[in-house]
Structure 1
Amino acid sequence: MELRDIEIFLTLAEELHFGRTAERLHITTSRVSQAIKKQERRIGAPLFDRTSRSVRLTPVGEQLHRRLSAGYLQIMDGIEEVKGTVNGVTGTLTVGTIGPHSLMMKDTFDLFHTRHPGARLQLREVQPPSPLDLLRSGEVDVAHLWLPVREPDLTIGPLTHTSQVLLMVSATHPYAQRDSVSVEDFGDCAVVQGQSIPVYMEEVFNPYRTPSGRLVPRGPSVSTWQEALNVVASGQAVAGVTAEITEFYPWPSLVYLPVRDADPVQWAYVWRSGHESPLVRAFAQAVTDMRQAGTHMSGS
């Protein structure tokens, strides 16, 4: 079976439409039909059920799709890796970052650009209330996230830095005049709620129970970092945050208090395990080298 025929089959299995498949692959619909018929003759069974209204995989087609998908991805990754070795890494890598971290990573981005002038970095903002969404949707190739990340389909890449946990409160909050707080103090506050965030990631900054076992009340649910800032500034809730944001969000209506007994938080790059590419590996190497040089991010 030729590689192009495999590509046609996999694309049709995804699109379930001959016209869209042809358009996506820049070929004619008759070429799509010919390729599928050729594969069906080779296998001896229909791969798709076709009607005037729909196209869907047969059980045999589903089996073939499962078998071919992983192999095709490995082949294409291998080709891209060799191309990167011969011609240098090229293409666009979309990197997701939270808040001010994109500004703090300039040295790493500059190193990557210097090493790979044929590649382009595109930045997207990751929202803390839904830290994995852009990775899951494929809208970013690599995301800079706090640990732990315990998802079986995600790979944890190089660490970048460790930061202190602070409690962000309104300037009118009863804690605002303190020098610091403890994790136990969270039990007397309502903390902001995330959206699609794993519990184990949310409790790094906003625990569900205090060390003595008291429940930590939940306040308003937020979907973006800006919403979290506004909810806290208005006194509706408090939020655990990373220490770096104090330099970038010095709002007069907000106060940042060290959480003296909170564990330091590690940060790392994360990507989908099945989509590691030469671009991802080249970027990870730049991160590692910058980390070893001690200049990846301030406070690292």
Structure 2
Amino acid sequence: MSSPDTRELEAFLALAEERHFGRAGERLYVSQSRISQLLRSLESKIGARLVERTSRRVRLTPLGEQLLAGLRPAFDAIVETIDEVRDVARGVGGLLRIGFQGAANDQVMNAIALFQNRYPECATEIVEIPFSDPFGPVHRREVDTAVVLMPVRESDLVLGQVFSKQPQSLAVAARHPFAKRDVLDAEDLAACSLIGVHGAAPAYWRHAQAPVVTPQGRPIPAGPAVSTLQEGLALVQADRGAMVLCHPTADYYGRRAVVFVPLTGLQDSFLALVWHRHHETARTRAFSQALAAVADAAE
């Protein structure tokens, strides 16, 4: 009996994690029928069914669960070893795609400059990622690593350097009553509508950017939801709601008809570098080290 080949194992892992033939095919850039074909071939070589198929869902058999538990770490180790050997052979070269939300701040730009100075053979590409989908580009491998707003609770992402601690402010229209205040408390948020974030961002992340209750549990009215910071600030300017933003973002996107009032009682804002745990390379590790060096120097 022949041994399973790499494509069969990749198809099984993708199907085991996606629990959907179509999504597994999209992940590996093959058709749904090709995933089915590879799975049948693998099951034939093993001699037992690994997946139970129904009209609504895909479920692993006990043998499939056993295979997944042993295969995933072993497969990842093989891929990581190959990547490491390839990177050593090439040096830290190729292309590193760095995603960021909003505006890349000075620490990020300084880290990029340091990285390029250390590894001139590696090109960098800076990619703006959607405010409403902070983790999607990393999951879809559109970027190799990304600088995103905290919090990060995604199990398949590595949380790297956390940096850029900043106090919060509330963006309001110049004619809003809060615009005349010198400072606001988080409990004041119960008296205004907060513009939220819609899209693919997980609920915990959206609620961190636009809380639904004050620290004392008072409900905060929900305003309209947006996909970009620019959309949100346009609604703020029209007095359709307020936005919680860190001070550097407020300074960068400042506009005459919007006032940014210091806000106390909420956790400070932090940025974090993240990357997918299954797609880590020498390039991502080297950039993480560069960012850590810049962040340490800034403290």
- The TM tier, using the shorter chain, reads 0.7 to 0.9
Query: C-alpha offsets along residues 239-273 of structure 1, whole Å, 9 cap, x if unaligned?
Result: 00011123322211111111033332222112222
Contact 2:183 2:262 in 1 (8 A): yes
Q: 2:288 aligns with which of 284, 288, 293?
A: 284
Cα distance, 1:42–1:135 mapped onto 2, change above 3 Å: closer
Query: TM-score with structure 1 length normalisation?
Result: 0.76
Is residue 219 from structure 1 mapped to residue 223 from structure 2 by the alignment?
yes
Mean CA deviation greater in 230-239 or 63-72: 63-72
Is residue 189 from structure 1 mapped to residue 189 from structure 2 by the alignment?
no
Query: C-alpha offsets along residues 70-96 of structure 1, whole Å, 9 cap, x if unaligned?
Result: 433321211221332343112322222
When Rg is computed on C-alpha atoms for both structures, the one with the higher figure is 1
Q: CA deviation at 1:115?
A: 1.8
Equivalenced residue count is 277
Letter in 1 for 2:7: I
Aligned residue in 2 for 1:155: 158
Cα distance, 1:119–1:62 mapped onto 2, change above 3 Å: farther
| Structure 2 counterparts to residues 195-274 of structure 1, below 5 A | 195=198, 196-274=200-278
Is residue 85 from structure 1 mapped to residue 88 from structure 2 by the alignment?
yes
Contact 1:165 1:258 in 2 (8 A): yes
Letter in 1 for 2:117: T
User: How far apart, in 2, do the equivalents of 1:247 and 1:292 lie?
Assistant: 23
Contact 2:108 2:291 in 1 (8 A): no
Query: TM-score with structure 2 length normalisation?
Result: 0.77
Secondary structure at the residue paired with 1:179?
Answer: coil
Q: 2:297 aligns with which of 290, 293, 300?
A: 293
Is residue 116 from structure 1 mapped to residue 114 from structure 2 by the alignment?
no
Cα distance, 1:40–1:165 mapped onto 2, change above 3 Å: closer
Secondary structure at the residue paired with 1:176?
Answer: helix
Cα distance, 1:63–1:208 mapped onto 2, change above 3 Å: closer
For structure 2, which runs of at least 5 residues remain unmatched after alignment? 16-20, 52-57
Is residue 99 from structure 1 mapped to residue 102 from structure 2 by the alignment?
yes
For structure 1, which runs of at least 5 residues remain unmatched after alignment? 49-55, 295-299
Q: CA deviation at 1:60?
A: 11
Contact 2:195 2:243 in 1 (8 A): yes
Contact 1:171 1:233 in 2 (8 A): yes
> What percentage of aligned pairs have identical amino acids?
28
Letter in 2 for 1:230: A
Aligned residue in 1 for 2:8: 9
Contact 1:129 1:225 in 2 (8 A): no
Contact 2:166 2:270 in 1 (8 A): yes
Query: C-alpha offsets along residues 157-211 of structure 1, whole Å, 9 cap, x if unaligned?
Result: 0122201101011112111122121111111100012123344333434222123
